[in-house]
Structure 1
Amino acid sequence: MADLLWDDVKCLFDPDPMGALPDVRVPDASVEDWQAVLDLVAGKGWKRQYPEGETLLPVPRAEVVLSRLPDAECPELRVWPTADVSAIFRFHAADEVDFDADLRELQGQERLDVFCDFLREIGRRLGRPVLMDPEGDGGHPVIGFDVEADRVVVLADLQVR
């Protein structure tokens, strides 16, 4: 059975009120958590791209990416768990695994299931919640992987949406 049913949560995947690129995060993370995510991506064989400028490079170790100079450009890792669903990891800080999802790609039950599987894989690997906030609205998650329930759950009050 699906973690979330599209008809119940489609309002949370509307790019207009949510922003096209909601923020997905694992708070209270560490460099080791970042590395665990990088290892998960490689181990699952998900397509990935790590560009620096115009050059695609092999994905470095987390401690290398996160130890860049403060004024250096923030690197990104693009990951495709399937051909039609992507995530953009941004290495802003070691203490929060941070990525964006594109809500325009997450329309319908099939793609929602892919996204929930992706969140679940990360949450299980880290043993931590994975939270999705509206774009630019950190701290107000609408859905997330619940470690105890071992599934993605709704965290927002759908009555007010």
Structure 2
Amino acid sequence: MAMTRKRRRIILIGIGAGFVLAASLLVGVGMRDSIVFFFSPSEIAERAPGPEQRVRVGGLVVEGSVSRQDDGSVAFTVTDGAMEQRIAFPGILPDLFREGQGIIAEGRLQSGGLFVAEEVLAKHDEKYMPKEIADTLKTEGHFKPEYGADAPQAAGEAAADADG
């Protein structure tokens, strides 16, 4: 029995849809491991991510909280004005890392509540602060004008300003 044009077209469309679905699944599975969510200390207290989930936590380094551990790591506390999060970092801190300044740490939250960072990023100048941290500080009444209220909060906003 010969295949009609209509039947052949339906089969080709089905095969094409199958390939698109398979490609979408492969991309989704591949991206799942590279997605890293941002949490403020308050959000970690509300809905703590599991120890298997890699996340970013950010805030201002609490004055007097930085301490060197016996194993060579550094421990410090960050705050968003409402809550604080203790962070341990086994590496070398960036040159711009200071108490009272904004940082973002990427790593995992351990079962005891300690955040173990694999990377620490310090803000690159006095006018930059991640939007999530600035919003939380404004909400809690701890935002100071020297944190950069007039400056673009992210690279996307800077690009939008340049286009505008």
Q: TM-score, normalised by structure 1?
A: 0.27
In our comparison, the structure showing a higher alpha carbon Rg is 2
Q: Which has the higher contact order (CA 8 A, sep 6+)?
A: 1
